[in-house]
Structures are given as C-alpha cells and as structure tokens.
Amino acid sequence: MKISEEQMYVRCLTIEAMIKTMVIQGITSNEKLINAVDELFHPETDDEMEAYSEAIIYAKYSVLN
C-alpha cells in the first residue's frame, strides 16, 4: 500500500523525534535505531526506506553535534 506524501512527512517527523529521544537516552547503535523504526512503520518500498534512513541520520547527528 502506497502512503501519501503527507503521511510520509508525518512519519519522518515522528521518526526524528523518536530517534532524538533514543540518542539522548544513550542509544546510538545504528542497528538499534533502525530496528526501532522498522518495528514501528514496517517500510515496504525503497522510497520509504530511503526517507526513513535520512530521518534517522538527520536526527542522530543533530543531537550528537
């Protein structure tokens, strides 16, 4: 099922908030962060995986920098 652009935007914002919280709590392992996102949203397409990956990277490094 294809998700709308608006849904993707909201999901990415949710992912960023979740990842920032996890990083602040000391969880910085890429594997753990990716697994948390996979469990929550179950990406089905390459576009979803790419958008989620970018959200993870952005959130993680915004906290660490």
- Write out pLDDT tens, residues 8-25: 999 999 999 999 999 999
User: Domain range spanning residue 14?
Assistant: 5-64
Contacts of 1 (CB under 8 A, 6+ apart): 44
Contacts of 15 (CB under 8 A, 6+ apart): 37, 40, 41, 52, 55, 56, 59
Q: Which tens digits make up the pLDDT trace of 19-65?
A: 999 999 999 999 999 999 999 999 989 999 999 999 999 999 999 88
Whether residue 2 is predicted with pLDDT greater than 90 in this model: the reply is no
Question: Do 14 and 55 meet the contact criterion of CB atoms below 8 Å apart?
Answer: no
CA distances from 14 to 9, 17 (A): 9, 5
Question: Taking the model in full, what pTM does it have?
Answer: 0.90
pLDDT number for residue 29: 95
Q: How many domains does the chain divide into? A: 1
Instruction: Work out the number of other CB atoms within 10 angstroms of the CB of residue 47.
Output: 12
Whether residue 1 is predicted with pLDDT greater than 80 in this model: the reply is no
